[in-house]
Amino acid sequence: MLDTQKSVRRMDLLHGWPYDIHSYVDVAPLLGSAGYRVIIPYLRGYGTTRFLSEETMRNGQPSAIAVDIVAFMDALKIEKAILAGYDWGARTADIIAALWPERCKALVSVSGYLITSQEAGKMPLPPKAELQWWYQYYFATERGRAGYDIYHHDFAKLIWQLASPKWGFDDATFDRSAASFDNPDHVAIVIHNYRWRLGLADGEATYVHLEEQLAQAPVISVPTISLEGDANGAPHPDPVAYANKFAGKYSHRLITGGIGHNLPQEAPQAFAEAVVEVDKY
């Protein structure tokens, strides 16, 4: 976890897969200098996170990750914060904003509305769209699980290259984040997340009521700015498709200049400016 503090204006920055807290290495000081307390937690299965019991299910379903962040805020006595993220982090922030709007002052979400459900995951996509999800189907097999376990560093670097084809990251930048994938629970969490999405793995009963609410695709009422990079090579929805899912003050920005999927690390200034602006909505 990274934590900077200059005032009582609080925010959580949430990372995606296969990335880590260093996606915000340049965003955090920009927001810190603007007077924000910035907290950047590892999601479960990354970095220094650990389960208290070996018997606990290594659950990667979206609602479980969102509950983690709410519990994290509770532990730090943070009643309400601005939430911002991309990929898994954006989905997590969207879920909290939808189900616990009293905990979310405002939202910055890369690729907009990412709440989904197992039922939605059953719907076939056009072939070109399915091709972008190749790794999801790989993970559905035991060969895929074994392959990710053995080659997760190489796998992550390939995803970085495909998702951000114009981002010229160097080995040191990648290796800094890749160290967080050596977490003993990382592979299990990732595999469960993608299998759960396809209905190939069960979740936990404690989250059933939350997933039922999310399956209704709830509208998000908190002030929101959605962002998209002009060179995002990862699967992502068209902004027109989700604009009506934001009922509060809302705007969308396309960030140009060859910006890919890891938008906060590729365009930190634009990401930080969106946070400062949405705070004024």
Burial of 16 (0-12, 13-18, 19+ CB in 10 A): buried
**Average pLDDT over every residue of 277-281:** 97
Question: 17-65 pLDDT, tens per residue?
Answer: 999 999 999 999 999 999 999 999 999 999 999 999 999 999 999 999 9
Distance CA(227)–CA(132), nearest Å, equals: 20
Distance CA(3)–CA(254), nearest Å, equals: 28
Question: 55-71 pLDDT, tens per residue?
Answer: 999 999 999 999 999 99
**Among 278, 259, 281, 266, CA closest to 84:** 278
**Into how many domains does the chain fold?**
1
Report the percentage of the chain scoring pLDDT > 70: 97
Question: 101-138 pLDDT, tens per residue?
Answer: 999 999 999 999 999 999 998 889 999 999 999 999 99
Structural contact between residues 108 and 271, judged by C-beta atoms closer than 8 angstroms: yes
Question: 133-165 pLDDT, tens per residue?
Answer: 999 999 999 999 999 999 999 999 999 999 999
pTM (global) more than 0.75? yes
Please say if the pLDDT value at position 1 is more than 80. no
**Lowest model confidence (mean pLDDT) among 3-7, 15-19, 23-27, 244-248:** 3-7
Structural contact between residues 61 and 196, judged by C-beta atoms closer than 8 angstroms: yes
Domain residue limits at 61: 2-278
- What residues contact residue 229 under an 8 Å CB cut-off, 6+ apart? 110, 164, 254, 255, 259, 260, 261, 263, 266, 267
| CATH code for the domain in which residue 197 is found | 3.40.50.1820
Rg of the chain's alpha carbons, rounded to an integer? 17
Q: How confident is the model at residue 185 (pLDDT cuts 50, 70, 90)?
A: very high
